[in-house]
Chains A and B, each alone.
Chain A
C-alpha cells in the first residue's frame, strides 16, 4: 500500500511545479538565470574543448599556407576598403538628400560578434543562446544576423547570456518584402518542424507575382528589424483561403542548423 508520506512527497513536488509555473515572468527569469549559472563551468569547458582542435590545426599549418592566406586576405581587404569608400560616399549623398527633403537621418547600426553556446533542448522551440548579455549592452528585441542573412531576434537577456528566437519559431514573426516589381509584402511565420531552412511567408496579396528564386528581405515594419536585411529566396507559392491571400515557402539564406557565430545589431 502506498504510504501517507509518499502522497505528501508527491503533493510537495506538484506544489513546487505549480508555484514555479505561476511565478511572475521577472522572478522566473531570475530563477532561470540562477539555475543557468550552474552550467557556466561546463560551457567554459566545452568552449575550450571546441577551441582545441582549431588551435592544434593552427600550430601545424605550413608557412606556405599561411602566406597564401595572408595574400588572399590582403586582396579581400583591398576590395572591402574600396567598397567602404564607395559606401561612405553613398551614405554622404544619402544624408544630403535626406536633409534636402527634410527626412529624418538614419543612424548606422553597430555590430557585435557573438558565439552560439547552446541550442534549445526541446524540439518544439527554435532558439539558441549566445555568449553576450546585459554587460555587453544587449537588450531584448535586438536583431541577430549572419553574413548570409537574418537569423532572429534577442528574446531574453541575462548578465552573460542571451536567448535568440530564430526565424521559423512561431514567436518570431518578421515583416518581409519580396524583391519583385510589385514589392509584395507578407509576414514570415513558423517553418517546418524538421527542415530548419524553410519558413512560410504568408498574408501576401492574392495578386502577388511570385517566382521561384526571388529574394525576400525585411520590410522594416514592426520596429525590430531594420529594412533590407536579406532573409532568403522564394521556393514556391500557393493561393490559400479560396484566393484571399497567397502563401509562399522561403528558403532561408542563413543556415540555422549549424550556427556557430552570429552578429547582433545595435541601433
Chain B
C-alpha cells in the first residue's frame, strides 16, 4: 500500500467535501451542487489498493454525511458499489485514456446520487424530489465526468511532485556485457 497516495486521496476527499459544503457558485450557476467523491473513487479504484478504496468509501461517506442532513453512513454504500467493480476489473480498463476516465466518471457520478436517493427513499425519508432533480442529476453526471480526467492528471502530478518515485532499474548490467575481442579463446 502506497501510504502517500492514500493520504493524498483522503486529503483530496476531505477538501472536496468541504468545498461542496461551502462553495455556492455551482448551485447558483447550474442549479445543482456537484459531487467529486465518485470521480475520486474511480481514480482510487484504478490506481490504489483495496485498503485505500475502503478508507475512501468509509471516510468520504462519513464526511459527506456529517456536513449534510443525510443519515450517517448512507453515502458509504454507493461509493463502495462504484469502487469495487472497477477495482475488480481494472486490468481490463484502459485507465490511461482520458475518454475511458470520462466514461467511468460519468457512470460513477450518475450512480452515486441515484443509489443514495434510493437508499434514503427506501428508508422512508422525505426528500426534495421533482422534475428539477433530473436536471441536477444530469449536471452531477456531466460535471463528474469532466472532472474525472482532471482529477487523474492532478493526482498523478501531485504524486510525481511530492511522492516517492519507483526506482527504475536500468537495462544495462555489467555481468551481461558482451565482451568482444580478436583474441582466440
Interface residues, chain A, CB within 8 Å of chain B?
2, 5-6, 9-10, 12-14, 16-21, 23, 28, 31-32, 35-36, 38-39, 42-43, 46, 117-127, 129, 155, 163, 165, 168-171, 190-195, 257-258
Contacts and interface: CB of A to CB of B under 8 A. Distances in A.
A71 to B, nearest CB: 34
Contacts of B28: 257-258
B72 A23 contact: yes
30 contacts: A2-B88, A6-B88, A13-B76, A13-B80, A14-B77, A14-B80, A16-B58, A16-B73, A16-B76, A17-B61, A17-B77, A20-B73, A42-B18, A118-B67, A119-B24, A120-B67, A121-B64, A122-B33, A122-B64, A123-B33, A124-B117, A124-B129, A125-B70, A127-B68, A129-B67, A163-B69, A193-B128, A193-B130, A193-B133, A257-B24
Interface in B122-152: 123, 126-133, 135-136, 140
A10 B84 contact: yes
Main secondary structure of the interface of B (DSSP, over half): helix
B73 A123 contact: no
Interface in B49-69: 50-51, 54, 57-58, 61-69
A193 B66 contact: no
Interface in B24-53: 24, 27-28, 31-33, 35, 50-51
Given A16-B73, A32-B65, A155-B69, 6 more contacts: A12-B54, A28-B72, A31-B62, A121-B17, A125-B69, A165-B69
Given A21-B71, A123-B33, A124-B127, A35 B136 contact: no
Q: For B20, B58, B69, B72, which residue has the most chain A Cβ atoms within 10 angstroms?
A: B69
A241 to B, nearest CB: 19
**6 nearest CB pairs, A to B:** A20-B73, A193-B132, A194-B132, A121-B20, A170-B126, A17-B76
A32 B67 CA distance: 8
A36 to B, nearest CB: 5
B113 interface: yes
B21 interface: yes
Contacts of A155: 69
Contacts of B33: 119, 121-123
Given A10-B84, A36-B66, A124 B133 contact: yes
A16 B56 CA distance: 13
A39 B73 CA distance: 18
Contact of A193 (B70, B72, B129): B129
B63 A123 contact: no
Contacts of A39: 18, 21, 63, 66-67
Nearest to B50: A9
Nearest to A190: B128
B22 A118 contact: yes
B68 A13 contact: no
Given A35-B62, A123-B33, A17 B73 contact: yes
B111 interface: no
Q: For B50, B74, B140, which residue has the most chain A Cβ atoms within 10 angstroms?
A: B50
A2 B28 CA distance: 44
B100 interface: no
Contact of B127 (A13, A117, A170): A170
Given A13-B58, A120-B67, A194 B136 contact: yes
B120 interface: yes
B127 A125 contact: yes
B65 to A, nearest CB: 7
B80 A32 contact: no
B63 A38 contact: yes
A119 B63 contact: no
B12 interface: no
B136 A121 contact: no
Q: For A5, A123, A168, which residue has the most chain B Cβ atoms within 10 angstroms?
A: A123
Given A9-B51, A17-B61, A123-B33, A192 B132 contact: yes
A155 B70 CA distance: 13
A123 B72 contact: no
B72 A21 contact: yes
